[in-house]
């Protein structure tokens, strides 16, 4: 079992004046408490949601997702227009992808980027226009690339010389079903390190994604030689959960240097600067507003282009977390509460819930910080130092490392953890054979299931040894 984090790992969080209050930056805009003190999401009470769908339960506020999608699109389009160019916004599907999410973001004018054949299938099943899809991934299989070509995916972001040659062979086949050359972007490691967990920083040299700056020109030259491919431009992604614009400014400077050099050999139509824009997980977090981010990043690109005397290219961005993160809330039921006296002399409540690292792996993976509130009631009890933990056989199975909950939190209470719309459902597992929770959408006082939860029968259905054997199974096969 893994070791537990240090008791003082996030002790900087202040004791709240009111442990029932909902911080506006963390919760969906429509979240509030009703007259009885119960948490209401999308117009639906938490106890009603738990009674209908069970716990743990992922709750997604549809209006919140749509609003963030609209704001992101408007911010980048407006910023780009101010500098005489255009911008396209793609939703980064890895944050959380389902057919319903696809319908929401595409209805608001966003494209979708996917990173696997499965995500591609979900995007298409959700009604996305293949021409508005971007396909990422450092190890796309031949079958995945064939499917993307057959569907007419708008752009493929190439990550290695091997992938370029795979595409060259596929587009040259006589039986290829696609028409016209396939647009490809070259992913470049700018060398800019995002100020985030090392596992989330994706633009430094010593990692699996993309081409180093000095290797990218050879990749572009090879693409330009292949009749079945069209060079669409450069792509960069410096990491995730980033606050501020300094990293994006530096990345833009390095990429525009490369962009200007590549113009000597032909057209470089676009620059995709990825996403990674941070959100607030606790009251202490202060992410940059999306409109300010867009203006600063696009402005930095325009400045770098002007300094080199080149036109500003078309731009693209790929927000994911900032579209769905704040829209998601996970509901749990409290199972046990245990006070623990620490060597420092401090007492901590360990509040165990009916989920854990199987539905939210981020705390264990990255040391991510979250907040929590009682959802089924309010309390006048004093705030107590608390740690919300799961039911898994790991000391590191922590949902919320440090929070101050009312001291009278008790078995049967509903607990809500906000800002769980991104990278919780998509990283969910069946650790300890715990079924993955359902996902419910709420809007205007109505709730509907958008992803069915699993049960133990689902787990056993995939276990070949648990399935009934055919009557004649003992007489067939080489090992009968």
The set of catalytic residues is 393
E strands within 169-327? 182-189, 211-212, 229-235, 270-272, 314-317
* Residues 6+ positions from 458 with CB-CB distance below 8 Å: 435
Q: How far apart are the first and last CA of the chain?
A: 39
Task: Report how far apart, in Å, the C-alpha atoms of 44 and of each of 57, 252, 445 are.
Answer: 14, 44, 5
Other beta carbons within 10 angstroms of residue 442's beta carbon come to 25
Find, among 119, 358, 364, 325, the residue nearest to 241 by Cα. Answer: 325
Identify the H or E element spanning 81. helix 62-81
Which residues lie closer than 8 Å to 270 by C-beta, 6 or more apart?
Answer: 185, 232, 233, 234, 313, 314, 315, 316
The angle at the Cα of 315, spanning 151 to 146, to the nearest 5 degrees, equals 20
Strand, helix or coil for residue 60? strand
101: left (phi over 0), alpha (psi -120 to 50) or beta: alpha
Q: Are 439 and 40 in contact (CB under 8 A)?
A: no
30: nearest Cα among 19, 43, 18: 43
Residue that the structure tokens 């060398």 belong to: 191
CA 357 – CA 168 distance, rounded (Å): 42
Structure tokens belonging to residue 75: 């911010």
Distance CA 223, CA 185 (A): 10
Tokens 């705390």 sit at which residue?
363
Identify the burial level of 258 via C-beta atoms within 10 angstroms of its C-beta, where 0-12 means exposed, 13-18 middle and 19 or more buried.
Answer: buried
β-strands 446-451, 439-443 pairing: antiparallel
């Amino acid at each position: 079992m893994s070791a537990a984090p240090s008791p003082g790992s996030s002790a900087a969080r202040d004791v709240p004046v009111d442990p029932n209050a909902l911080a506006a930056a963390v919760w969906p805009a429509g979240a509030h408490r009703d007259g009885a003190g119960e948490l209401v999401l999308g117009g639906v009470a938490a106890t009603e949601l738990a009674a209908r769908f069970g716990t743990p339960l992922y709750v997604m506020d549809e209006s919140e997702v749509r609003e963030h999608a609209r704001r992101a699109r408007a911010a980048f389009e407006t910023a780009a227009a101010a500098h005489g160019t255009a911008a396209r916004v793609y939703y980064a599907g890895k944050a959380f992808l389902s057919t319903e999410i696809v319908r929401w973001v595409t209805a608001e004018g966003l494209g979708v980027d996917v990173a696997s054949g499965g995500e591609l299938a979900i995007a298409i099943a959700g009604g996305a226009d293949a021409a508005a899809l971007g396909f990422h991934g450092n190890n796309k299989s031949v079958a995945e690339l064939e499917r993307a070509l057959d569907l007419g995916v708008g752009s493929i972001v190439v990550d290695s010389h091997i992938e370029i040659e795979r595409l060259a062979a596929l587009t040259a086949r006589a039986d290829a079903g696609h028409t016209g050359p396939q647009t490809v972007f070259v992913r470049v490691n700018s060398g800019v390190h995002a100020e985030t967990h090392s596992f989330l920083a994706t633009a430094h040299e010593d990692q699996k994604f993309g081409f180093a700056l000095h290797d990218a020109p050879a990749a572009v030259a090879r693409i330009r030689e292949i009749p079945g491919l069209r060079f669409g431009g450069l792509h960069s992604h410096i990491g995730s959960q980033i606050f501020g614009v300094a990293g994006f400014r530096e990345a833009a400077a390095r990429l525009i240097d490369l962009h200007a050099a590549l113009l000597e050999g032909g057209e470089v139509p676009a620059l995709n600067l990825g996403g990674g824009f941070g959100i607030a997980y606790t009251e202490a977090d202060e992410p940059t507003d999306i409109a300010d981010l867009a203006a600063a990043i696009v402005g930095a690109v325009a400045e770098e282009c002007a300094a080199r005397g080149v036109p500003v290219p078309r731009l693209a961005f790929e927000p994911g977390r900032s579209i769905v993160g704040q829209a998601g809330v996970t509901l749990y039921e409290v199972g046990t509460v245990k006070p623990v006296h620490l060597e420092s002399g401090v007492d901590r409540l360990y509040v165990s819930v009916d989920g854990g690292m199987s539905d939210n792996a981020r705390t264990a993976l990255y040391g991510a910080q979250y907040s929590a509130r009682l959802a089924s009631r309010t309390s006048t009890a004093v705030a107590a130092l608390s740690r919300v933990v799961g039911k898994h056989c790991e000391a590191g199975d922590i949902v919320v490392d440090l929070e101050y909950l009312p001291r009278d939190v008790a078995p049967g209470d509903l607990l809500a953890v906000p800002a769980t719309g991104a990278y919780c459902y998509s990283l969910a597992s069946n650790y300890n054979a715990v079924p993955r929770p359902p996902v419910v959408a709420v809007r205007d006082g109505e709730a509907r299931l958008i992803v069915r939860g699993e049960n133990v029968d689902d787990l056993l259905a995939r276990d070949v040894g648990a399935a009934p054997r055919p009557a004649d199974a003992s007489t067939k096969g080489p090992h009968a």
